Amino acid sequence: MTSAGKLLPQVTQNELQAMAYSDPLTGLGNRYRLRDKVRLLAAERAQDPAPFTICIANLDGFKPINDLFGVAAGDEILCQVAHRLKACIPDGATVTRHDGDEFAFVLPLVFERVGAERIGQMIKDVLSAPYDLGDRNVRLSASFGFAIYPFAGEEFEDLLKSAETALYRSKRRGRGQITVYSREIALEMKHATQLEQALRTAVIADAVDAHFQPIVRLGDGAVLGFEALARWIDADLGFVSPSVFVPLAEERGFIDALSETLLRKAAEAALSWPRELFLSFNLSSVQLMDPGTTDTILSILDRVGLDPHRLELEITETAMMTSAETAHRIITDLRAEGVKISLDDFGTGQSSLGRLREFTFDKVKIDRAFVSQITTDRTSEHIVKAIIAMCDGLDLQVVAEGIEDYADAQKLKALGCGMGQGYYYGKPADTVATGRYLREQERRLLVAHL
């Protein structure tokens, strides 16, 4: 009796300790198990610091599946992931559930980058096979961040932070990416964070400007409208390309604030133009996923006093398909208020023809990749010709982007393209220079009619 009484607390203590180190859903170890494994391995190799590797894997697109099929289905997938991982990891390795849809690995026999990438590819292939949910199958991909001891950190916290940095870089590059931490990656991520802070400050200070590039009628060169383009010149960083800071704002979650600021500035500038000219403005994929986008845009136009009929919103096929149902509703609601919608970068998506059937557009913009070779490459010429003919049959206006010289303009005009845009007609310019451009255009037209 006494013996049993002494034994019981010991059993309970062991069970509590096991629970503290285990993930209740998958049965894998948890963060504490990962920490202790890494510290133990580091202590064993302290005298002769032979490398070992840790990894964090994140399931791409898990949240939408969880939202669509429910938490129970999401839990089932996580359990299947755990089962696959236990079955495929090398001998001596440890797998834990790190957090939510993230899993972590300790790989004692992986010593360098090539070995880490090889393991990552193997695990990625294992996780990419369909998951059985009874009445349906779903597919997932995974992104990976590796950190090698002691180069990426000698303490557990430093090593983990390095793996998380590598994973973050993988997520930035897209789905199913594998990154092994390096000093160069750390510097790149540090620079991105500094850039983010500077951009956030610039947005708050209203320091990101809208510049305007003319869109003209190819028949006579008359200006029909302008596309608003973001421009940012930082006091310390100098000119920062929009191809850098716009994706960064999307990725870090403040593209809505940046876009709202730019739309307000662009709309205010458009008030000084002749009323028949339109303003073209780009919408991001994030905005096409937000049901509040329509109200936000119309509210800005109302406050500024710009007629919605003068606004054209440019959207890409990729942006639309991130959340097709929400995008469709936003497009429909905006068109009902008089806003026109252009399909941008036409020809570069996966199924642009399908988008023309499923969504209602007013205009198509032919991607500069085709326009730039129209006088030298017969394939590009035929593609452009086919797009123009198709849009004519669908009663869609067409704009050719990236017109650089007279020959391009003449060829497009001969093919029946109605509108064009590019450096041949004008580079993006600020509000004051755009005003001068319009006055000069007006003077030329007057002279031409005398």
258-289 pLDDT, tens digit each? 999 999 999 999 999 999 999 999 998 889 88
CA–CA gap between residue 330 and residue 430 (Å, rounded)? 29
| pLDDT over 80 at 347, yes or no | no
| pLDDT over 80 at 444, yes or no | no
Mean pLDDT over residues 378-392, rounded? 89
The answer to whether the Cα torsion of 126, 130, 131, 134 is positive or negative is negative
Statement to judge: residues 88 and 166 lie in one domain: yes
Give me the long-range contacts of 200-208 (CB less than 8 A, separation at least 24). 200/254, 202/232, 202/234, 203/249, 203/254, 203/257, 203/258, 203/261, 206/261, 207/232, 207/234, 208/232, 208/258, 208/261, 208/262
Statement to judge: residues 217 and 351 lie in one domain: yes
| pLDDT over 50 at 8, yes or no | no
Instruction: Tokens for 197, please give them.
Output: 């802070």
Statement to judge: residues 256 and 399 lie in one domain: yes
Examine the fold and report which residue of 157, 181, 205 is the final residue of a domain before the chain moves on.
181
Could you tell me if 295 and 327 are in contact, meaning their C-beta atoms sit under 8 angstroms apart? no
Could you tell me if 420 and 428 are in contact, meaning their C-beta atoms sit under 8 angstroms apart? no
Amino acid at 355: R
Residue 312 lies in a domain: yes
Coil, helix or strand for 146? strand
Could you tell me if 228 and 208 are in contact, meaning their C-beta atoms sit under 8 angstroms apart? no
Question: Of 13 and 371, which is predicted with more confidence?
Answer: 371
Statement to judge: residues 110 and 202 lie in one domain: no
Residue 187 lies in a domain: no
Statement to judge: residues 343 and 405 lie in one domain: yes
| pLDDT over 50 at 384, yes or no | yes
Residue 8 lies in a domain: no
Question: Of 253 and 301, which is predicted with more confidence?
Answer: 301
Statement to judge: residues 292 and 434 lie in one domain: yes
How crowded is residue 192: how many other Cβ atoms within 10 Å of its Cβ? 17
Specify the number of domains making up the chain.
2
Share of the chain above pLDDT 90, in %: 60
Statement to judge: residues 231 and 365 lie in one domain: yes
pLDDT at 17: 65
Which of 111, 139, 410 lies closest to 119 in space, CA to CA? Answer: 111
Question: Of 325 and 8, which is predicted with more confidence?
Answer: 325
Phi, psi angles (nearest 5°) of residue 439: -65, -40
pLDDT at 1: 44
Statement to judge: residues 214 and 312 lie in one domain: yes
| pLDDT over 90 at 355, yes or no | no
| pLDDT over 70 at 11, yes or no | no
CA–CA gap between residue 58 and residue 168 (Å, rounded)? 10
| pLDDT over 70 at 351, yes or no | no
Residue 42 lies in a domain: yes
Examine the fold and report which residue of 181, 216, 242 is the final residue of a domain before the chain moves on.
181
- Choose the weakest-confidence range: 60-74, 129-143, 160-174, 222-236: 60-74
The pLDDT tens digits for 90-112 are 989 999 999 889 999 999 999 99
Environment class of 433 (CB within 10 Å of its CB; exposed 0-12, middle 13-18, buried 19+):
middle
Statement to judge: residues 250 and 103 lie in one domain: no
Residue 201 lies in a domain: yes
Residue 275 lies in a domain: yes
CATH for 335: 3.20.20.450
Examine the fold and report which residue of 181, 211, 235 is the final residue of a domain before the chain moves on.
181
- Choose the weakest-confidence range: 31-35, 107-111, 348-352, 404-408: 348-352
Mean pLDDT over residues 15-44, rounded? 87
CA–CA gap between residue 197 and residue 284 (Å, rounded)? 21
CATH for 156: 3.30.70.270
CA–CA gap between residue 69 and residue 63 (Å, rounded)? 10
Which of 156, 193, 164 lies closest to 181 in space, CA to CA? Answer: 164
Statement to judge: residues 343 and 429 lie in one domain: yes
Mean pLDDT over residues 396-413, rounded? 92
Structural domain harbouring 54: 18-181
| pLDDT over 90 at 66, yes or no | no
Statement to judge: residues 357 and 384 lie in one domain: yes
The pLDDT tens digits for 304-339 are 999 999 999 999 877 776 677 888 899 999 999 999
Residue 46 lies in a domain: yes
* pLDDT tier for residue 373 given thresholds of 50, 70 and 90: confident
How crowded is residue 311: how many other Cβ atoms within 10 Å of its Cβ? 26
- Residue ranges of alpha helices (H) inside 105-204 are 113-128, 156-173, 183-204
Residue 186 lies in a domain: no
pLDDT at 2: 45
Statement to judge: residues 237 and 199 lie in one domain: yes
